[in-house]
Structure 1
Amino acid sequence: MRNYEEITAFLGEWRPYQKVVFFLLSLTVIPNGLSGLIMVFVADIPEHRCLIPGNLNLSEAWINRTIPLQVENGKLQYSKCRRYRLDVIVNLSQAFPNPDSLNMSELKQEPCLDGWEYSKDQYISTIVSEWDLVCKDDWKGSFSTSAFFMGVLVGSFTSGQLSDRFGRKIVLFGTLAVQTVFGMLQAFSPNWETFCILSFIAGLGAISNYVAAFVLGSEVLGKSLRVVYCTLGVGIAYASGYMIMPLVAYFIRSWWMLLFVSSSVGILYIPFWWTECCVYLGDDFTRIWQSVGSGKQNDMQVQTHQARFLPLCRTRVWVQKLGKVKCEAISAIRACICTDANFTKAPKWV
């Protein structure tokens, strides 16, 4: 019995079909690189300190002294989670216009009861500043990233079974759509809990389309190209997403806009549905079909042609005929090539 390599040898190693598959499948991996690094910017923690309400009529000097100083990482800086009790500060400000004349280290402190104010020097907003994920809730920022990778973990176990059941191409584009849609929905999350749920689902889609593209390329490409695709093709595409993400984040400093723009990249892959698995066979397809249909070939030759076109039965076959690209539907190919049906006439072009 011939193996898979012998059966698909007629496709060649580096012909138009392999080039299309190699480059387009590699390009589908770029969004995975984007999503793998985006949480570094979306969940980053900007400089912050306790918010001092503006209705207290405190001078700028007293507002600055309301936040206690503490040593952090060897540097003296304002506390991020504590402030002096505001009722005491208000009373002292009325008696002492200049706070520098007082020793405030003994004053009682309280948590940031009125929220926080965040520096906008680096970011316009992040999910941390959006939902105050600091101090006692600082674990939520890290958990947001973990939610995405928990989805990646679950998807790693399910994506293979899905692609075996429904086909590589359907799973590839279906999970790419999941990653794109739920990534865009994250930008409109009303609260942190919703954001984490959407992040988990986006992680499911991210790893699933990565695995589907990886396996599809490994199965379709020839032996010599398979190693190049699985290392350089997929690896460089993923790394390209990693390199593009900081550049995009440099110009887009708002977390929701960054998520929406980076996720919407998946829309650009819609045309790939019609081009990614196309096979250009030229007049050779018609010549073989007509010779088989005329009965000029014996059973062994018919079986050979069935084996040659077997890899095409799971997709659409595009044939270039007289300068025009025409398409034969999947059902006709299965009925006339991939089964023992009689070859009586050429297919009707659609």
Structure 2
Amino acid sequence: MQFDDFYKTIGSFGRYQKIKYFLICLTYMFPPIMVYTWSFTAATPSFRCRTAIDDISGISITDEILQHYKPNESQCRQYQNKISLAECQRCFQLTNETDYDDTHMKPCTNFIFDRTYYQSTLVEEWYMVCNRVSLKSFVQMIFFLGYMVGSLVFGILSDKFGRRPIMGASFVVITLASFMCAFAPHSKLGFEISYAFFVLGRFLLACAIRGVGLTGFVIGVEIG
């Protein structure tokens, strides 16, 4: 019996194979969803320094009032020439404190964010702006590092233990890591613990996504 005859006997690419192949293809929606979700959860809305008058009730804050707290172009060019004028005026404010007599400028530690488009983001919650903007980039760097590690680890594990068990384990890790990312940002935990748990969750999420992608690809080829 030729192989083609045997293939006709056991059946070709039927309904069961089509459904299974379709479900495996759906798993490839995870990577773009997880990557682009960060663009919304960590979006950077417009912001400015919180000034002393922001804490006074009953005062209408206008742009003219805020101009008194913003450094002008010459001050920014003289003391903060490594950043743009817009960034200087968003991240520094004028002060009369004795510690800043030479520059009359101090870096902002509290900010007010525009909530026209976003009610709340991680950038606002963790103040990942100005001198802390690298914290936002670090999360993405760790995420793609998890991609690389996941490709190596889950590829080896799937060869040793099989595709289906590793795919199932990857889905479990994705679920747990997603809960970590969802509940890690919490004020009661403090910034350091919240940020560490969130970064760890993103790392595990990326690793597990690669586990699903690698095993799913091989299973899909075998079905086809």
TM range (shorter): 0.7 to 0.9
User: What residue number does 1:180 align with?
Assistant: 175
Q: How far apart are 1:67 and its partner, in Å?
A: 2.3
TM-score normalised according to structure 1 size: 0.51
| 3-state secondary structure, aligned to 1:83 | strand
The letter for the 2-side match of 1:136 is N
- Distance, in Å, in 1 between the alignment partners of 2:107 and 2:71 is 11
Single out whichever of 143-152 and 162-171 deviates more from structure 2.
Answer: 162-171
Instruction: Look up the match of 2:38.
Output: 39
| 1:28 to partner: Cα distance | 2.3
| Alpha-carbon distance in 1 for matches of 2:124, 2:147 | 26
Q: Does 1:165 align with 2:156?
A: no
Contact persistence 1:69–1:76 (CA under 8 A): no
Q: Which residue of 2 aligns with 1:109?
A: 105
Alpha-carbon distance in 2 for matches of 1:172, 1:6 = 33
Cα shift readout 1:40-73 (whole Å, capped 9, x = no counterpart): 22222221111113346876343443123559x9
Q: Residue 80 of structure 1 aligns to a residue in which SS?
A: helix
What are structure 1's unaligned runs of at least 5 residues?
A: 89-105, 222-350
CA contact (8 A) 2:96 2:104 kept: no
CA distance in 1, matches of 2:11, 2:182: 45
- Number of the residue aligned with 2:121: 126
The structure with the largest helix share of the pair is 2
CA distance change for structure 1 residues 11 and 123 in 2, over 3 Å: closer, same or farther? farther
Relative distance call for 1:75 and 1:165 in structure 2 (3 A) is same
Which one-letter code corresponds to 2:94 in the other structure?
Y
Tell whether 2:82 aligns with 1:79.
no
- 1:287-306 pair list within 5 angstroms: none
CA contact (8 A) 2:177 2:205 kept: yes
Q: 1:165: how far off?
A: 2.2
SS in 1 for 2:93: strand
Q: Give the Å deviation of 1:33.
A: 2.5
| Aligned residue number for residue 199 of structure 2 | 196
- Structure label with greater radius of gyration: 1
Say whether residues 1:18 and 2:17 are aligned partners.
Answer: yes
Would you say the 8 A contact 2:174–2:209 is kept in 1? yes
Which amino acid is the alignment partner of residue 127 of structure 1? L
What is the rounded CA distance, in whole Å, between the counterparts of 2:200 and 2:68 in structure 1? 41
The whole-number CA distance in structure 1 between the counterparts of 2:144 and 2:154 is 15
Q: Deviation at 1:197? A: 0.9
* AA in 2 matched with 1:159: F
Shift of 1:177: 2.2
How far residue 167 of structure 1 moved from its aligned partner, in angstroms, is: 1.9
Contact 2:180 2:197 in 1 (8 A): no
Q: Output the CA distance in 2 between the equivalents of 1:119 and 1:177.
A: 37
Residue in 2 aligned with 1:217?
Answer: 220
Aligned length: 201
CA RMSD of aligned residues (A): 3.2
- Percent same amino acid among aligned pairs? 25
